[in-house]
Structure 1
Amino acid sequence: MSGHTVAIPDDGAFASFKAECLSEEGWRMSCNKGGITVWTQGLEEGNSVHQIKCRMVCKDVSAETMYDVLHDIEYRRKWDTNVIETFDIGKLTVNADVGYYSWKCPKPLQNRDVITLRSWLPIGKDYIIMNYSVKHVKYPQKKDMVRAVSIQTGYMIQSQGPKACTLTYMANIDPRGSLPKWVVNKSSHYLAPRAMKKINKAGLKYSEWKQKHNPGYKPWLYPEQTTLPSIPLSELSIQHAESLENIDESSLAETQEREDSD
């Protein structure tokens, strides 16, 4: 989202996000293997804004289940091995909230975090979840984190019948740092496909997990269940990248890390 005023995305914003998910104009395919395709825009060294799009057909995972997986914050803490901390801050409407998410970056880069306004919308048998960065006075930038900026990031889930779906992830992010070339290459060729595979695996295991963890609790489907406090839009402002420190990590060399077991 652009502009100076925080706004809840309308139907036009969701339609625009869907169109960009489906479009290949201006996107360069950087990886296509194992059923996962990755496109990039502007992932050159020194470019401040990084755009990446991944698409995968998820077999044996319905669109409805994938929608639940991507919403369920308790389940995310289980399957998302990149997450450091994630929590919901408050609700705005029945289909919009504000939340915090921090994640591990490849060593020796500093870890990143974001505060985002997230909104979601079922469109027929398809679903969209998308977000953009906002500021909240109670959640300032942390000393040990680089505050990144989500210009627009999200997922589109398209039903492919009762037991399959196509998942598209699209991120338009300013990581607030001059990143080294190896990070850029690793993101599109390795990290993004690996993340998609983890989401698919999480989808396969979700129904069994949910049966044992508050199975009826799905506030993204039943907003009357939410216990989040309401936040007025007046408490939020747009997070502009220019107001955040831009760190130079371009000279950092890659270090060997122990891989997380999938």
Structure 2
Amino acid sequence: MEVGEVRPAEASDFDRLIQLAQSDTDGGWELRVKKSFCSVFTRTNELSNFKMIKVTADVSELPAATMYNALHDAKYRAVWDKQMCSSKEICVIDAENDIGYYQVKTPSPLRNRDFVTQRSWKVSGGKYMIMNHSVYHKKEPSRKGVIRGTSYYTGYVMESTGPKSTKFTYITQSNPGGNIPAWLTNKLVTVVAPKVLQRMLKASRGYESWKKKNDPEHMPWLWPDQNTTDLIDWDDVENTGLENELNNSEETEEYPDPGNDDNTLMQDVQDDS
């Protein structure tokens, strides 16, 4: 699915996610970081100078379904995601697709970033999948003081490898907007990605105990009849709206001189991650 495209995800869209997750150096991926608990790869493509990144990990004592539910649960995300300023579901497309808003904190002196994305999900053959890409929605135009970013492609695959073990893959290619150069973003993400993974794993391990005390039967991503969000009004979404919005954004920021401050900024990002 392309940026700005709004439609229910098809089997071929999830097949592409699986292909990206399962491919290695033969698929154009370059290993950038190897740690005891994860590997980080990057890959270039024609979409942007901002590289696609992939983080993989073999996770023990954590079922794939638990990770899937933890990442889906908006109320729980407000508990564990300390980088999130705000989020909300804007509308529902169908039982496995919606459009939402997410704003993330960014280290000073940069402005916060926000994203409007279509999210799609599916469970098939022991694989639990979530993916998103940026779209336009009339009810969430660019906000003053916040820079609108672009998610070209983001996906999660949680593949069950046993009753309590999971092969976890996180893929993303995003443009944070503003004045942050692509070379610095590409450098930062390889440093920050393992920390983001650790946060996700810690949150997932705590999910079941939290959920038992917090509306345990409410899981609209599994039981769509529970969803009370408005259905999509197709007049509110436009394929050209996102491009116009990004091109006409008046929000700018002062980016530090890379020759003097990029190490400081990188430390700030690591501290905040």
**Length-normalised TM-score, structure 1:** 0.89
Determine the structure 2 residue equivalent to 1:7. Answer: 7
Displacement after TM superposition at 1:6 (Å): 2.3
Identify the match of residue 240 of structure 1 among 243, 254, 262.
243
Residue 53 (structure 2) pairs with residue 52 (structure 1): yes
**Aligned partners of 2:28, 2:13: CA distance in 1, in Å?**
20
The residue type equivalent to 2:257 in the other structure is S
**Aligned partners of 2:110, 2:44: CA distance in 1, in Å?**
20
Retained in 2: the 8 A contact 1:66–1:203? yes
Residue 219 (structure 2) pairs with residue 215 (structure 1): no
Q: Secondary structure, in 3 states, of the residue corresponding to 1:160?
A: strand
Rate the CA distance shift 1:183–1:4 in 2: closer, same or farther, 3 A. Answer: closer
Retained in 2: the 8 A contact 1:56–1:166? yes
1:77-128 Cα shifts (integer Å, max 9, x gaps): 1111111111111111000111001112233322211001101010121111
Q: Can you give the 5+ residue segments of structure 2 that lack an aligned partner in the other structure?
A: none
Residue 257 (structure 2) pairs with residue 251 (structure 1): yes
**Aligned partners of 1:208, 1:12: CA distance in 2, in Å?**
36
**Aligned partners of 1:183, 1:4: CA distance in 2, in Å?**
23
**Richer in strand (by share):** 1
Q: Percent identity?
A: 32
Q: Secondary structure, in 3 states, of the residue corresponding to 1:89?
A: strand
Q: Greater CA deviation, 120-129 or 33-42?
A: 33-42
Displacement after TM superposition at 1:41 (Å): 2.4
Q: Can you give the 5+ residue segments of structure 1 that lack an aligned partner in the other structure?
A: none
**Richer in helix (by share):** 2
Determine the structure 1 residue equivalent to 2:175. Answer: 174
Determine the structure 2 residue equivalent to 1:109. Answer: 110
Displacement after TM superposition at 1:187 (Å): 1.8
Displacement after TM superposition at 1:206 (Å): 0.6
Determine the structure 1 residue equivalent to 2:74. Answer: 73
Q: Secondary structure, in 3 states, of the residue corresponding to 1:81?
A: coil
Q: Greater CA deviation, 128-137 or 50-59?
A: 50-59
**Aligned partners of 1:151, 1:167: CA distance in 2, in Å?**
20
Q: Secondary structure, in 3 states, of the residue corresponding to 1:135?
A: coil
**Aligned partners of 1:4, 1:58: CA distance in 2, in Å?**
34
Determine the structure 2 residue equivalent to 1:33. Answer: 35
Q: Greater CA deviation, 176-185 or 114-123?
A: 176-185
The residue type equivalent to 1:51 in the other structure is M
Displacement after TM superposition at 1:179 (Å): 2.3
Displacement after TM superposition at 1:16 (Å): 0.9
Q: How well do the aligned residues superpose, as a CA RMSD in angstroms?
A: 2.4
Number of residue-to-residue matches in the alignment: 257
Displacement after TM superposition at 1:4 (Å): 6.3
